[in-house]
Amino acid sequence: MSITETNSLYDHLENMSIKEILTNINNEDAKVHLAVQNEIEKVEKLVELLINRVNTGGRLFYIGAGTSGRLGILDASEIPPTYGMPHGVVVGLIAGGDKAIRKAVEAAEDNIHGGWNELEKYHINKKDTVVGIAASGGTPYVIGALKDANCNGLLTACITCNPNSDIAKVVDIAIEPIVGPEFVTGSTRMKAGTAQKMVLNMITTSLMIKLGRVKGNKMIDMQLTNKKLIERGSKMIMDETHMEYEEARRLLLLHGSVRSVLDNYNQ
């Protein structure tokens, strides 16, 4: 039996007080960052390869089922507004299609050819990278896609929370934060999901920084989609140029991004 399916270290959860439940969940969550820390070198290896591939027109595809698929979609969807990257550079796919984001699609994750069929719709090629996300490490939809990706010469990686899993055997880079049994037995949306989200954050954040989408510690290419982001952008410009707020805001709205304002200012 995989570690993610083994019995919780706690029992009789229904007899615990609310505080006991919350404290014990928190105690388990405290183990997650250590498990992720153990995998930093593997994440580093993946990001180093991704930098050149994305710079030369390659794309990053996340593929998963259930919680794992939703986490990939979440990470991918944040890249255009946060870093100003075009839609389609980072893509998240989930077994069962978009309708599975909100509601489970029966047996979708068992379709071994479903993942590659979805990837082919994007005219996937050797410049691209496929990262399979599967807490258990045994999801047929994901493993099938990775096997086909390998056969077609793509770089492959996985994020899984079980050691010696089937998925790790078919990828170039296996990222395996082993977080142990879940507080509620088998509920991998908890620690396993948290670990996966942390790794996804690390991959795309470090990638975007190295692609030049951050200056200092600021998201200078973020999209100005709401008042909060316009305020944030104006403050970035003020910090860099020492100009007054009204002028910073005017220039931001005129040029459309913090980067454009700073480029014009420094000419």
Each residue's pLDDT expressed in tens, for the chain with a length of 267 residues: 689 999 999 999 999 999 999 999 999 999 999 999 999 999 999 999 999 999 999 999 999 999 999 999 999 999 999 999 999 999 999 999 888 888 877 778 989 999 999 999 999 999 999 999 999 999 999 999 999 999 999 999 999 999 999 999 999 999 999 999 999 999 999 999 999 999 999 999 999 999 999 999 999 999 999 999 999 999 999 999 999 999 999 999 999 999 999 998 887
Locate 39 and state its tokens: 């995998």
Residues with Cβ within 8 Å of 149's Cβ and at least 6 positions away in sequence, in order, are: 116, 119, 124, 130, 156
This prediction's pTM: 0.93
Q: CB burial class (10 A; 0-12, 13-18, 19+) of residue 259?
A: buried
Under the phi-then-psi rule, with left for phi > 0, alpha for psi from -120 to 50, and beta for the rest, what region is 125? beta
The distance of Cα 231 from the centroid of its chain, to the nearest Å, equals 27
Cβ neighbours for 68, distance < 8 A, ≥ 6 positions apart: 133, 134, 135, 139, 142, 159, 193, 196
The residues that are catalytic are 78, 109
pLDDT for 102 equals 86
Instruction: Kindly state the tokens that stand for 217.
Output: 């510690």
Q: Which uninterrupted H or E stretch holds 34?
A: helix 32-37
Cα–Cα dist 29/183, whole Å: 9
Instruction: Name the strand (E) or helix (H) holding 27.
Output: helix 18-29
Of 240, 245, 231, 244, nearest in space to 260 by CA: 240
